[in-house]
Structure 1
Amino acid sequence: MEAAKKGLITPEMKTVAQKEGLDVTKLMALVACGQVAIPANVRHHSLSPEGIGTGLKTKINVNLGVSGDCNDYSLELEKVKLSLKFGAEAIMDLSNYGKTNTFRKQLLELSPAMIGTVPMYDAIGYLEKDLQAITAQDFMRVVRAHAEEGVDFMTIHAGINKRAVEAFKRSGRRTNIVSRGGSLIFAWMEMTGNENPFYEYYDEFLEILREFDVTISLGDALRPGCIDDSSDASQLSELIELGHLTKRAWAKDVQVMVEGPGHMGINEIAANMVIQKRLCHNAPFYVLGPLVTDVAPGYDHITAAIGGAIAAANGADFLCYVTPAEHLRLPDINDVKDGIIATKIAAHAADIAKGIPQARDWDNKMSDARRQIDWETMFALAIDGEKAQAYYESTPTEEKHSCSMCGKMCAVRTTNMILDGQTVSLHAEN
């Protein structure tokens, strides 16, 4: 950000501009004013930089990491490889069990995708202290450790200060606090009687992030955990604080993303995107879902994709995936794949709606292949070509130019034959 403010074009800006088909000087201006972030820790040497924000393609993030009940790091690495295969631009390591730095170092060595963490999750295992005994300086140690390892962006819940907590307590929420990091900060504040250390010592945390060029992702500790809590005083009071913290970070040349709502009715999503962009000065917006209904456990990749598509079409820049396992368990490898695919669909659908350059070209190529009944090209263009091909081949067809749904009654085949001057006969060989 400092380079952009000085009119200097960095290698990362050049890479992002090329990926986006954007003039690099225009990109530089967006980085300078904070509307685009390029999370790129100076120590993440395997990174292929991506831009997040105004006028750019919608990016997606994959969450993974171990827990006390599921601590198989080899499985998490398989999830990493799957995420990279399907083009996830970011991976967040949310491990909250044991010494996590070995896995994180492997992740940073392997991954061209940007890597994010939530230092609060790691604090208890890293420090080997009970929550109440952790000090502000302890939290800084964990943030510095993650920055030194090469993490590109960190979720820090700095907006849940005492004013926001007062609004939360008055609101009488149905699901209270559902953010894991937010609930831990809230518990620490209540047990110690102190201000949120990430808020009280915000400038000191920013100095650490600036030293390694880590982007701050301002966490929404008071995000709604059910549709009945959306757009309430708790959510909006924290969002006001996040807007103030955004400007403070930019003043220190620290790039910012702002995190957004988790559960929200479809009718509220567009307005929330406008409010966030207004209150947070057009900083990139990073949303989880939103999940548009609370009654679909086992299918929340779908409820989130619906909300994510609407959110991104109305201004959100970065979608955090949700898997079918949300609310139920740590996702397995199949859950991860389903979550990635659903979120990629949402992001691409939004890019078409936003008029992102070249977004519609992909669909046009697929449509051309369908008109030509060119199965190999269709499989090559599909988000998940392996699945598409497996479905097509699962039921052999008599007519190779159609699928088992229509056979010789295929509308495309019929129209092509007529336009080519041929006669259509459904009973004879053609």
Structure 2
Amino acid sequence: MEYTTQMDAARKGIVTPQMETVARKENMRVEDLMERMAKGTVIIPANKNHTSLDAEGVGEGMRTKLNVNLGISKDCCDIEPEMDKVRAALDLKAEAIMDLSCFGKTQEFRQRLVEISPAMIGTVPIYDAVGFYDKNLQDITVDEFFDVVRKHVQDGVDFLTIHCGLNRHTADKVKQGGRLTNIVSRGGSLLFTWMEINQAENPFYEHYDRLLDICEEYDVTLSLGDGCRPGCLHDATDACQVEELITLGELTKRAWERNVQVMIEGPGHMAMNEIAGNMMMEKRLCHGAPFYVLGPLVTDVAPGYDHITAAIGGAIAAMSGADFLCYVTPAEHLRLPTLDDMKEGIIATRIAAHAADVAKGYPGARDWDDSMSKARAALDWEEMFNLAMDPVKPREYRESSKPEHEDSCTMCGKMCAVRNMNRVLEGKDIQLDD
């Protein structure tokens, strides 16, 4: 029996190789996985042309996944440093990489990325359109927008972020004012500008079925972008954001009718007390579709440390129902991140994702923490390093400050609680003064 997409296969009872991979990784019955995929609450982004993919599932009952943003820009257009970041991101086990390239040899970078990456790959085609056609944004035609989309999926991209829900009605809400930061989504702002100058509807909203045709043909997942995501705490959960979310829920059902997989993108910036409610609202309005969030950043006043503000929000969001976290680096709002910035962002987001999985009771998540606790109780430093989320930094810290006794550290020395409890429980003498 033939199938068009992973969702179509699940609905027909066909077990694909990608489903087998995900079921094994998640330690779940493939029948349960297929049931969730058929409903749309789990997705497996897997372009038919991405032959190096090691498939991952995102959504209900899955481990929280992590995305890394990369890409070349006009100010930083050298491909090789970005490829170094790609390799580092894969070494740090990122499940997804988004290519946000907007200038220069974007197709070359995209094709090299897809060729080597077992992680799923996403892009935002409208970023590429301006540089690709080398013309003013307002002069790009509807056909040209869709031609760029087709180029991306032909190159093997697994999911596309497209801001289909920012239609003219919602754009009018933005113009009515009340926001401190207006539209901070790059893709959303480009489409808003195109609509305003041309006095036309968002082409991806008006011609949504045309977009679904392309996604269905290549089995590409549609990541419905949040053009009105809040760019500061003040703008969170306002009419613009909620109205766009309602539209995204309607577009989700239309995609599912075509067996096109969907995930929903979410905020942005948001106070901690609003996060759980927003996660519940998205799941309700978008019918349980997987939720992909950027942060959210829980304060606006920590530039240079936004990997921390985002990790706090990401942990709360994932604990409350978000399925997929986009990393944020210390360089957020300031510059294109360096390799070190990227590593800091990945680790911070990985901490948030794992902490949420523990809180949600994801099977086996706490076992990792228990193993670390046993290694600490035994003062087994090598095992601690082996179990660490980032083995490099803790090893460097210990090597930089050696204790007098191997079964302690330079913080407590012979007053180490763990050392002394082990000794006293073993019937050994404890001497603190020699």
* Shorter-chain TM-score tier: over 0.9
Equivalent residue number for residue 314 of structure 1: 320
Give the alignment of 1:151-300 within 5 angstroms. Answer: 151-300=157-306
CA shift for structure 1 position 99: 3.1
Equivalent residue number for residue 45 of structure 2: 39
Equivalent residue number for residue 135 of structure 1: 141
Which stretch shifts more, 254-263 or 93-102? 93-102
**Cα distance in structure 1, aligned partners of 2:296 and 2:366:** 24
- Contact 1:60/1:88 (<8 A) preserved: yes
Cα deviation 1:316-360 (Å, max 9, x = unaligned): 000000000000000011100000000000000000011101100
Please tell me the residue identity of whatever aligns with 1:263: H
TM-score (norm 2): 0.98
User: Of residues 140, 144, 150 in structure 2, which corresponds to 1:144?
Assistant: 150
- Contact 1:288/1:322 (<8 A) preserved: yes
CA shift for structure 1 position 123: 0.4
- Contact 1:99/1:125 (<8 A) preserved: no
User: Of residues 402, 405, 409 in structure 1, which corresponds to 2:408?
Assistant: 402
Equivalent residue number for residue 60 of structure 2: 54
SS at match of 1:115: strand
CA shift for structure 1 position 170: 2.3
Give the alignment of 1:330-345 within 5 angstroms. Answer: 330-345=336-351
Over aligned residue pairs, what C-alpha RMSD do you find? Answer: 0.7
**Cα distance in structure 2, aligned partners of 1:252 and 1:166:** 30
| Structure 1 segments (4+ residues) deviating >3 Å | none
User: Of residues 57, 71, 82 in structure 1, which corresponds to 2:88?
Assistant: 82
SS at match of 1:390: helix
CA shift for structure 1 position 128: 2.3
In the alignment, is residue 392 of structure 1 matched against residue 398 of structure 2? yes
CA shift for structure 1 position 423: 1.2
- Contact 1:323/1:338 (<8 A) preserved: yes
User: Of residues 100, 106, 131 in structure 1, which corresponds to 2:106?
Assistant: 100
SS at match of 1:92: strand
In the alignment, structure 1 segments of 5+ residues that lack a partner are: none
SS at match of 1:166: helix
Q: Percent identity?
A: 63
SS at match of 1:329: coil
**Cα distance in structure 2, aligned partners of 1:315 and 1:171:** 31
In the alignment, is residue 2 of structure 1 matched against residue 8 of structure 2? yes
Please tell me the residue identity of whatever aligns with 2:353: A
Equivalent residue number for residue 305 of structure 1: 311
In the alignment, structure 2 segments of 5+ residues that lack a partner are: 1-6
TM-score (norm 1): 0.99
CA shift for structure 1 position 9: 1.1
CA shift for structure 1 position 98: 2.0
SS at match of 2:161: strand
**Cα distance in structure 1, aligned partners of 2:143 and 2:215:** 15
In the alignment, is residue 18 of structure 1 matched against residue 27 of structure 2? no
User: Of residues 307, 326, 331 in structure 2, which corresponds to 1:325?
Assistant: 331
Cα deviation 1:69-90 (Å, max 9, x = unaligned): 1112110011001101111000
User: Of residues 376, 394, 402 in structure 2, which corresponds to 1:370?
Assistant: 376
- Contact 1:86/1:340 (<8 A) preserved: yes
CA shift for structure 1 position 266: 0.3
Equivalent residue number for residue 359 of structure 1: 365
Equivalent residue number for residue 3 of structure 2: none
**Cα distance in structure 2, aligned partners of 1:136 and 1:31:** 32
Please tell me the residue identity of whatever aligns with 1:74: E
CA shift for structure 1 position 171: 4.2
Cα deviation 1:237-293 (Å, max 9, x = unaligned): 000000000011111011001000100000100000000000000000000000000
**Cα distance in structure 2, aligned partners of 1:98 and 1:193:** 30
Please tell me the residue identity of whatever aligns with 2:231: G
**Cα distance in structure 2, aligned partners of 1:65 and 1:337:** 15
**Cα distance in structure 1, aligned partners of 2:287 and 2:174:** 24
